[in-house]
Structure 1
């Protein structure tokens, strides 16, 4: 059973996503380090400066959670190709079709706000992101998957 959810809201552009993320942080609805903006750079790679890899207390940071819900190619920028691929072969509650769809939406110039939230807070976070103009969806993420992604992110940091 998942104790956490990744709430993703797609916005029309990166500026709108940045404003929504800042508003969400200021609202106090969720932990500030559990929020990231997903946008692609001019090479089509996930901007890692927008999505932190660091841990947040006892859990994994948003970067690790985002790596679980984005296509393997985009997650490779956060975790390294082999590690990202290995995580995507596990049952993480998100289909390959969903991950690919999210990646395609980002490639269209849109950006997303990703939030790692406890299950009991996910609806409030989702509603706030919709209020801020995003098209939001929620995906369960197991503690095991988050721990593995966080370990992979830390290994990637150490290697890099």
Structure 2
């Protein structure tokens, strides 16, 4: 029910309006973002009870980017896996929850100062999954052995 969500988003690490570029259709949409519990949630309106999308920050990196269309941009991406789709979900217009299809999330903040604040907050929230890192290291070892 709605009360659960209220608790989820009570006292977030950061919240505010940002522009997000679409994954398939490359249009920019204004979304209300909430950063809490190592996840970035975005909503169409501040009054929405359900998020339009959820981006778990585990194993993601963040970087500033220059975009000719929008100022104050940054991106969330998977380091070393540029073509891999980020594990995330979004709610379609008809209410279905589907997997996201972004290999990176590009976001534009209203000001340079807000961009810096978001980057700092997201960097603090990003968590590393030791299991994932162990698998990546194993994969490297196996490919190194097979190339001998």
Q: Higher strand proportion, which one?
A: 2
Instruction: State TM-score, norm by structure 1.
Output: 0.26
Q: TM-score, normalised by structure 2?
A: 0.27
| Structure number having the greater helix percentage | 1
